[in-house]
């Protein structure tokens, strides 16, 4: 595995000069083939693959992308391509250093672009119109890099990158909408899965279900899973899981003679006071008060 340390080293793979110390755009058709060996680019990357020229591997997973597919990388992630000798690489690759985000508008808004941590199976598949828009974004950044440097250069590059990333975010939203029915089926499975897990006794042995655990059951990254849940249910994945835990707790408090401590243990809480704090936050009363109220209602 090799690591690209700076923009100069990145540009060497494309046989092009460095035009800015923190940003570059490469034409994949001009790249040295060694670029596709296992590499940590050490920067944020946005790659538009415009041909299926081999199997991309990242995080131990491999996938073939069709033309018009976008995937992203963060510093520290390793990616490689098992190239198809019969197909020439085609596409564009934007890289920018994390220093570009410090104390800037792009850095302030960067939280929106959590697709950088999506898995390889969660890439963005573009429509023909969307592909044209993103190609134009790449072209604008490329053109700005080739414009004589002045006091607005950094600002214009950040604007161009921000436009590209914002379009990616918009197109991901469209992709979520397109998958709406499939996502509803997945959320139905998720609800059943959590109910079964929470009533199985396993939380006492293995701990509470987490967002990461739920995402893993569907072979999704936690961020992608969280975005699907928020898109469909209008609450965060964390809130959804916690609500499921509280629903299970209410069932146990209502239908069993277990104490509050026993319910907490059954649901995977190491410390009963953590369970009490969550229950009070969600229900407005403590589990003890809730159980007492249920008892009084039954007697009344």
pLDDT in tens, 142-173: 999 999 999 999 999 999 999 999 999 999 99
Handedness of CA 44, 49, 53, 55 (dihedral sign): positive
How many C-beta atoms surround the C-beta of residue 271 within 10 A?
11
pLDDT in tens, 58-71: 888 889 999 999 99
Helices 180-198 and 222-233, axial angle in degrees (round to 10):
100
Distance CA 71, CA 29 (A): 17
Q: How far apart are the first and last CA of the chain?
A: 71
Give the start-to-end residue ranges of the domains of the chain: 2-178, 180-299
What integer pLDDT is reported at residue 220 of this predicted model?
87
pLDDT in tens, 60-111: 888 999 999 999 999 999 999 999 999 999 999 999 999 999 999 999 999 9
Within the chain, how many helices (H) and strands (E) appear? 12, 10
Distance CA 208, CA 205 (A): 9
The answer to whether the predicted template modeling score (pTM) of the entire model surpasses 0.85 is: no
Q: Are 142 and 25 in contact (CB under 8 A)?
A: yes
Across 253-272, average pLDDT: 90
Across the chain, mean pLDDT equals: 92
Question: What class, spelled out in words, does domain 180-299 have in CATH?
Answer: mainly alpha
Distance CA 68, CA 54 (A): 14
Residue percentage of the chain with pLDDT more than 90: 78
What integer pLDDT is reported at residue 25 of this predicted model?
98
Across 31-55, average pLDDT: 96
From 6-15, 72-81, 125-134, 249-258, the region with the lowest mean pLDDT: 249-258
Confidence class of residue 299 from pLDDT cuts 50, 70 and 90? low
Options 3.40.50.880, 3.40.50.360, 2.40.110.10, 2.60.120.280; CATH for 2-178 is: 2.60.120.280
Handedness of CA 134, 136, 140, 142 (dihedral sign): positive
Please tell me if the domain spanning 2-178 has the same topology as the one spanning 180-299: no
């Amino acid at each position: 595995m090799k690591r690209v340390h700076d923009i100069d080293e990145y540009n060497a793979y494309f046989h092009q000069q460095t035009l800015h110390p923190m940003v570059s755009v490469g034409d994949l058709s001009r790249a040295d083939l060694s670029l596709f060996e296992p590499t940590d680019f050490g920067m944020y990357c946005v790659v538009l693959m415009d041909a299926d020229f081999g199997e991309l591997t990242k995080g131990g997973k491999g996938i073939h992308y069709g033309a018009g597919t976008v995937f992203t990388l963060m510093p520290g992630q390793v990616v490689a391509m098992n190239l198809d000798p019969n197909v020439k690489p085609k596409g564009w690759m934007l890289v920018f250093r994390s220093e570009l985000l410090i104390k800037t508008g792009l850095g302030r808004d960067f939280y929106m672009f959590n697709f950088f941590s999506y898995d390889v199976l969660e890439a963005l598949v573009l429509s023909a119109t969307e592909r044209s828009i993103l190609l134009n974004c790449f072209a604008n950044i490329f053109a700005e890099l080739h414009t004589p440097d002045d006091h607005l250069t950094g600002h214009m590059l950040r604007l161009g990158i921000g436009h590209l990333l914002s379009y990616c975010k918009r197109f991901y939203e469209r992709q979520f909408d397109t998958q709406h029915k499939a996502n509803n089926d997945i959320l139905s499975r998720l609800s059943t899965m959590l109910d079964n897990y929470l009533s199985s006794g396993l939380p006492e042995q293995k701990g509470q279900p987490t967002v990461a655990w739920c995402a893993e059951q569907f072979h999704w990254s936690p961020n992608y899973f969280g975005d699907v849940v928020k898109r469909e249910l209008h609450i965060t994945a964390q809130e959804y899981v916690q609500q499921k835990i509280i629903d299970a707790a209410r069932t146990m408090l209502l239908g069993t003679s277990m104490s509050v401590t026993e319910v907490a243990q059954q649901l995977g809480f190491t410390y009963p006071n953590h369970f009490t704090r969550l229950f009070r936050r969600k229900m407005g009363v403590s589990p003890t008060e809730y159980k007492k109220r249920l008892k009084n209602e039954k007697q009344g």
